[in-house]
Amino acid sequence: MRKFLISTVLLLGLSMSVNAQKRPPEPPSKSELIAMKSKELDKRYNTEKKLILNHPLATKKMKRDQLKALNEKYRSQKRLLKKM
């Protein structure tokens, strides 16, 4: 009787744990993925821009040239994201 009780409890426990397992989360859709990448790109752009503008040793001309390069890089990466 005791073995029957233990085996029933084990069987119920195992069946409940199998049923309780969730499906793996679905991968994000293409539009969600593009939106996440775009936000990440914007965040990185803003931090780099802030670092360039607040650099204590860079001259105005150096900052202007670095911002120009950063803007070009940002535009090209945005263009690539839109093509996806």
**8 A C-beta contact, residue 30 and residue 84:** yes
How far apart are alpha carbons 77 and 23 in whole angstroms? 34
29-59 per-position pLDDT tens digit: 889 999 999 999 999 999 999 999 999 998 9
How far apart are alpha carbons 77 and 71 in whole angstroms? 10
Q: 5 pLDDT exceeds 70?
A: no
Q: List the domain range (segments joined by +) for residue 51.
A: 28-84
Q: Can you tell me which residue has the tokens 């670092």?
A: 51
Count helices and strands in the chain by DSSP H and E runs:
3, 0
Nearest in space to 68 (alpha carbons), one of 43, 5, 76, 12: 76
pLDDT band at 73 (very low <50, low <70, confident <90, very high): very high
Residue 43 falls inside a structural domain:
yes
Residue 44 falls inside a structural domain:
yes
Q: What total number of domains does the chain contain?
A: 1
Residue 18 falls inside a structural domain:
no
Residue 55 falls inside a structural domain:
yes
Residue 57 falls inside a structural domain:
yes
Residue 62 falls inside a structural domain:
yes
